[in-house]
Structure 1
Amino acid sequence: METLKEALILLVDDNSKNLQILGHLLAKQYKTAFARDGQKALEFVQRIHPDLILLDVMMPSMSGFEVCAQLKSCPKTQNIPIIFLTAKTETEDMVKGFELGAVDYVTKPFRKEELLARVQTHIRLKRAEDLLKQGLTEAQRLAHMGSWIWDIQQNTLTCSDEAYQLFGLARHEFDVTTETFIAAVHPEDREFVRQSVKQALSKQSPYNIEHRIVLPGAGERIVHERAEVIFDEAGNPVRMLGTIQDITERKQLEIELKKLSRIIEESINFVFITDAEGTIEYVNPTFERFTGYTRDEIIGQNPRILNSGEASRYFYEDLWKTITSGKTWSGDFKNRKKNGEFYWVKGLISPIKNEKDQITHFLAIQEDISEKILAQQQARYLATYDRTTGLLNREKFIEALNEYISQGDSGILILTDIDGFKIINEVYGHNMADEFLTHLSKIVIKTIVELYGKNQTILGRLGEDEIAAAILDISGKKGWEIAEHIRKTVESVTFTDEAIRTTLSAGIIEFPKHGLTTQEVLSRVDAAVYRAKEPGKNRCHLFLPEDRDIENIHSQFRQKERIIRALENDRLTPWFQPILNLHDQQIHHYESLARMYDETGNIILPGSFIRPAEEIGLINAIDRRIIQQVIDYQAKYKQQGQNLSFTMNISGKHVGDEQFLDFLSTTIEQSGADPQKLIFEITETAAVRDLEQAIKFITALKELGCRFALDDFGVGFTSFVYLKEMHVDFIKIDGFFIRRLHEHRYNQGIVRAMTAVAKEMEIKTIAEFVECEETMRLLKPLGVDYAQGFLIGKPAPQPTFICNYKDFS
């Protein structure tokens, strides 16, 4: 049997980009072929039968529905599985697709894992059904059997018409003798046949053998031969009577069935077969291992023995109605093992019919997706809660706090910070530190419940060693009492067998008394924690107005510490936003945008850390870290045959920095990246601030083979005077002119002027912040070369070849 990698999938779509994406996705596991329209697809299938067809619905001249109808009307192609792949989501379209004979219907945009799983399942199911159908057909075919008589004394051989036909001979053209019979036996089997005949004559016993015969011209058959010898009264052999039957097909079937049986027996999926009433007749070893039921225990049972009890009666009624009507059912189950443990499967159930088109059995193939389901549930959980403590994560806590504050609620915010948590981490390890945090969270919860109650309280983990509690309708004094109780409890507790003891410091702030916005409240409770630690830690401090000076100093200190930790722990990474070429509607390059992750995995946008990094002298380290990764990305994609371009932002502080230029030169050379595909950009204002240094810097980069872009162009419109001297390759028109371009004719005139001057200087223009279709339609007529913005695609951790936009050309 062919492996899945040998399976051929025909991809039919009038969009070459879609074909490229699908081909790239499937090429690692399957052979692929492409057709740009329905007619080419039909022509291809007449020549070569694919194992499966992925068919777009909406195509010019001939729709996917029409293609499907023609394929299903032709006996030669009607059994090829067809999966519709389309952006249409209307129920009537899906129903129509299934009525035409499609096996599945996948909507765009599709999920990679889902599409691969569906393709694999349908190819496996089709092959299994083909083998089962072939086995049933071959097993039910009537045997073709000939007879012969050998007159031993006269040495003549008489054969029936069926025997002649079996040997591929015509009676009137050929006389069969024992010599010609032996000559027709396969050379490797002749001695075996001679010895069998000799043994029958000498031992006066019948023989029952299988051997091969060679047909005239070419080809061979496997035959089953039975014979017995007739003796006279003196014990001399008189004649031999025999039959010969063509068992070639049976033998081939046995081989195929052995292969199929081995595949099913060794399959990583659960396979079981029931009779028409649903009684289990067969299960494969994987089913036994996974469910815990042995074959003896499960055969004779109904699959409902696996029922988790959570699915509704209507779910199973719909399933049974589908399969008893002769259709294949597919879907997800939550089942229960023998030991009571739950598991999830993605299943296919197909009816097996006899020659009278009557359902005799059902074949079920199920794939364990428990880990996938648990991962999805875990992802949903972690989107809201902290993995270690079970409290709200930073993002969700701030959302909830912001809701309190925006509604005008009053209350207090307590922020606890463990004194010496870093030492616990280093001495006892992360696991012990996590256990300590979990224990602390329980102390916080218990204290609040005892002193205040459960209502109108939110708790969350804000940082590595920070737990916060927002409590409504209590005073700062009461909040301080709660915090002090928590502090004393922690101080008095010995944690685990390691006898760990530590203390904590806590800050308390009243809102809205000391903060009208969430940002103010968080910043000032930080300052309160800092003030609590200042005299020697292990204290609680209620925020006072005079703490605002320390708030500013502490805020800057925390920002610096946060950025340094992110650099040390590789939590700075580039995300990529596609830039669309408006002339060919293709993505030519991507802008690389810095992203930072906090300790709990939440994304921090550059607006929160780039400016502080410039102020405290860390921007050089950030730029180097991001640029290094982007250049490595370009080199990697180049090796894979995708020579993509990447734009990288650099701070104006690097202009004139010889060491930074040396870093770029060394990194590009060592990585093997294509410098022509590396585009560096600084803002227009940074370039004009020191034009002479900017020109030298740009010239040095271009000598390396790189290209250059001016960002936020248009804010200082007079800088057109300097463009010619700077020799930039791109200007990025500031979003101020682009965001509402369709509403302001004045801005349209400015953009038209920019593009006209840029074209004279052979400079390409990029419109930033393209967020609506109305703006998109204006760009090309105004002379803009490229577009970038959420309408094209949002920043993502990996370059994406799928855009959000329609073709507005």
Structure 2
Amino acid sequence: MDFETQKVAIIDDEPSTLLILESAVEALAEVVTCSTSGEALSFINQCLPDLIVLDISMPELSGFDVCRQLKASPVTAAIPIIFVTSHSDVENERNALALGAIDFISKPIDIELCRLRVKNHLMLQQQKHLLAHINAQLEAEKKQLSVTLRSIADGVISTDTQGQVTFINPVAQRLTGYPEHEALGKSIDVIMELRDATSNATMVNPAFYALKEKRTAAMAFNTVLVSRENQVFRVEDTASPIIDDQGNLLGAVIVFQDVSEAVEMAVKMTHITNHDQLTGLPNRVLLHDRIVQALSQRISPRSSIALLLIDIDNFKYLNDSLGHRVGDSIIKSIAHRLKAIVGSNATLARVGGDEFACLLTDIGSGFSADSIAMACLQAGREPIVINGKSHQLSLSIGISLYPQDAKNAEEMMRHADTAMYRSKAKGKDAFSFFSTDLQQAMHRRVELEIILRNAIENDTLVIFLQPKFDFASKSMMGAESLVRLYDDEGNIIGPDEFIPLAEETGLIHQLGHQVLRKSCALVAKCNGLGQELKVAVNVAAKQLSNPGFVKEVDQIIRNSGIKASSIELEVTESALMHDFEQTRDMLNALTALGLSIALDDFGTGYSSLAYLRQFPLNVLKIDRSFVIDMDQEQQAFDIVLAIVNLALSLELSIVAEGIENQAQFDALFELGCHAGQGYMLCRPIPEEQFLTDHVLLDNRIHLV
């Protein structure tokens, strides 16, 4: 606080005295004056000076009267007063001091002495204000600290150097059960009863460590606080010594918090992280940990560890067609059955949507896993009744053994998965052990997938064409587009090998797009050579499940500049039955574009007459499995005859596949078949050869 901010009020009825006093004080502070004693009280209330210089002898009111009024008011009572007097008797001084005056200035006025007296009292007043300001700050900080300590969400307890409690905030009072008046002065280990959560052993309070070592100490892991009412709280804390600026130890402070809910939540989260929510079984993460643990703790070199990977056959179809609620019920039912079979000594886990895994430890030989696998298969065959409806299922199981075929947990999982796919390939409802030939097949699969992905990415898939010939004119009426894949050495990889892989990996959409585009481009080339050509392109079931398939086909045809009627899409019976209504709507939309639809492999699937009537089909293709035996077996001949009659009655064009000899050709012709294709007529050939042999030349078949 600066002198310039201070104010001195001078009250005197003599103008000359006012001038002298003002000249003496004006260098020290702001000066305000009043010459009428009757107005002195209101004047002082208005200006509120830091110091008052007051004349005793004034006609209206004496200085003593004015002083009494000022001291009687709470607003002005604290303002120091210096009396100006021409009297020097003791009685006046006694009266002035009794009224609260702090000093005297005698007349005649000595200006220098007056200035010194006023300066000293202004300095005292300044120090008084400064001290009051500091005290106010300290009090505010004290209150703020108290409010903070009492409002903080953590428990706070401070002690002296002997560990006796000197402060305890409300949270600490609640957790310990001790109110402040009972806790103060007691030992910290009495107020905070700490125990080990596992052993229940008493634990030393970390405040004693902080006092002894003069450094921060944390509470031991897994500590609980037992309150006065025997409530148990899981707590975490830190204790620190209280050391002043001179390095003296004054005590300790311990800050702790109730983490019971956090620990409980962590336990729940750990369970959720490691278990499947639907079945409550361990998940893939926990299974992996248990496999690793089992491998490291194998009981004897002669014992084996088995991992069974169990998959529900055709579950995706059931889940999609019946709904996820029914699918979840099936999963829980299978989980319950498997758990009952494997028992408590094995780990049963759910590792995927419809996949389970069973870890068997300390089995005597590889054959002991057989009984578990067979029991699981039998459990899978038992019908599952949901909402009064029975569902028949089956399982496919793959088995990997340690140390026979796997060296670590990752290999066991991978090998069991490979063996499980072998069971699927064998027809499902079976179990298979991993073997070297399976490993080689898996390596081949990986290599093939890389080749396929590269071919799709680099647009290097090629199409071969197999001509279709009209039986009446014995001339080519169109061709079927067949995709081929070349390996790195230029060898052809057959579609039977990579098409199932494309469907499994989801690459079938990109593959189908590329084949259709290349087929349309071929038609455009033929048109440019003056030859009309109709090309049939195979469509996979997964392509029909793509909502954007119709738009994709339309765009490809438009971009190629050909007529939509130049393209025929061949679909299989199984593709039609995947989602009846969706597939029917999609085929109607494709037909609306101008395409024709052929039903391929008729007779090998559902062979339902109902769907033949409801789908917009144009062509019925007789599967080669019937054609190849029709000249040798009467039953095969009768089936072909029935298919031909059915197609004719539905006004469908008939194309026979797999014609390999003259007898088959003649028989099909006599039955009324419209067209055919097969090795006897022409094998699938590369695009360049097709253009040369069947487009540039008027190629015809020469049969008797």
Please classify the TM superposition score into its range, dividing by the shorter chain length: 0.3 to 0.5
Larger Rg: 2
